[in-house]
Chains A and B, each alone.
Chain A
Amino acid sequence: MTDPDMKALDAALADIADQHPQVPDALMTAVLRDAAHLQSRAIVQPDPVGLWQAFLDLIGGWPAVSGLAAAGVAGVWMGIAPPVALETAAAQMLGTTQVVDLFGTDTLSGFAVEGGVE
């Protein structure tokens, strides 16, 4: 490579850099046709955010809902049929428990039991 080689290269690069081709009508038409074809797919659809969606977003989405549901079911179940281990643990932590009927009523039926307060 010599200096004249570099000069010839510089001159060729400068000549080519000056070339600014006109856009043919056919190319512009094709580009706009592509744009129209893709536009239906490109249109941004705004997400409808309702109250339920806002609530979901607030608590952390569906995984949080499933966690809440599982915790709720477990809580109800433990209230109806507490495991023995839970009762034992509660007794150890809180001491022995005693059920005191303050009103002397049948809590299920709502009627006063014999010997209780009417």
Chain B
Amino acid sequence: MMDAQPSLPSDAALLAAYAAGDAAAAQTLATRLLPGVLGQATRMLADRTEAEDVAQEAMMRLWKVAPDWRDGEAQISTWLYRVVANLCTDRLRKRKRTAATRLDDVAEPADPTPGVVDQMQTGARHQALADALAQLPDRQAQAVALRHLEGRANPEIAQIMDISVRSVESLTARGKRALAALLAGKRAALGYDDD
């Protein structure tokens, strides 16, 4: 989501320029990185307000780490994936107590208008999934989200989570099975009644 084009300055170069006092570098970096950060948070949390809070916090951490950033040690995009995933699982953990109730609440859309139904179903599906993610252990939730919502490859997830590829495979497999079990019988909530 955050790969720089070859002719453009790298994320690390921009961050170094920001740390050296270049105000324009912050704008370029934010324009390049913020959409991906917000997207990851939104997909994981299914809550726009919370996702925006997480995105702002993640970028705040990037500005803070700028003077100490060592180019070559890690990709900024990898670091950001990790920060956003951690911030999101913190928030999902807080939802655990209410998630079960919410899953029952979103079962049926009330308005029969087709467009509204679609919209509500999309929202309800997303909410149901986020609530189910909240029930998983943090590492499983992060691995599943990075693999199936962000589309990251296992070696990249291993880097992001600082674990082995084998562990990623195990976490995603167990996480997805747990997610399916949590959502078993909730196909209405997911908006897929028939097969």
Which A residues lie at the B interface, using CB under 8 A? 1-2, 4-9, 11-13, 15-17, 19-24, 27-28, 30-32, 34-36, 38-39, 42-44
Q: Are B184 and A44 in contact (CB under 8 A)?
A: no
Q: Interface digits, B12-40 against A, CB 8 Å rule (1 contact, 0 not)?
A: 00000011110100110011001100110
Q: In the complex, are the beta carbons of A39 and B176 less than 8 A apart?
A: no
Chain B positions within 8 Å of A39 at CB level: 18, 21, 23, 26, 63
B149: A residues at CB distance < 8 A: 13, 16-17
Q: Among B20, B63, B122, which residue has its beta carbon within 8 angstroms of that of A15?
A: B122
Beta-carbon contact of A4 and B126 below 8 Å: no
For the residues of B in contact with A, the DSSP-based class is: helix
Alpha-carbon separation in the docked complex, A54 to B74 (Å): 32
Contacts of B129 in A (CB 8 A): 9, 12-13, 16
Chain B: minimal CB distance from A36 (Å): 7
Which residues of chain B come closer than 8 Å to A28, judged between CB atoms?
Answer: 30-31, 34
* Contact yes or no, A9 B183, CB < 8 A: yes
Inter-subunit contact A21/B51 (CB<8 Å): yes
A6 and B59 contact, CB distance less than 8 A: no
Known A-B contacts A35-B26, A44-B19; the reply to A5 vs B180 at CB < 8 A is yes
Q: Smallest CB–CB gap between A114 and chain B, Å?
A: 77
State whether A32 touches B30 (Cβ < 8 A): yes
Residues in A with CB closer than 8 Å to B21 are 39, 43
- Residues of B near any A CB (own CB < 8 A): 18-21, 23, 26-27, 30-31, 34-35, 38-39, 42-43, 46, 48, 51-52, 55-56, 59-60, 63-64, 66-67, 122, 125-126, 128-129, 148-151, 176-177, 179-181, 183-185, 187, 190-192, 195
Please name 11 further chain A to chain B contacts, defined as beta carbons within 8 Å, in addition to the given A8-B187, A12-B128, sorted by A numbering: A6-B180, A12-B126, A12-B183, A17-B149, A19-B42, A19-B43, A21-B48, A23-B35, A24-B52, A36-B26, A42-B64
Q: Write the nearest CB–CB distance from A32 to chain B, whole angstroms.
A: 6
Expressed in whole angstroms, the Cα–Cα distance for A15 and B42 within the complex equals: 13
In angstroms, Cα B119 to Cα A20, docked, is: 15
For this complex, 27 residue pairs linking A to B, each with C-beta atoms less than 8 Å apart, are: A5-B183, A6-B176, A6-B180, A7-B195, A8-B190, A8-B192, A8-B195, A12-B128, A13-B149, A16-B46, A17-B151, A21-B35, A21-B48, A21-B51, A22-B35, A27-B55, A28-B34, A32-B26, A34-B63, A35-B23, A35-B30, A38-B60, A42-B19, A42-B64, A42-B67, A43-B20, A44-B19
**Which residue of chain B lies nearest to A19 when distances are taken between CB atoms in the complex?**
B43
Q: Which of A4, A9, A16, A23 contacts B34 (CB 8 A)?
A: A23
- A4, A6, A22, A27: the one contacting B56 at CB < 8 Å is A27
Whole-angstrom distance between the Cβ of B94 and the nearest chain A Cβ = 20
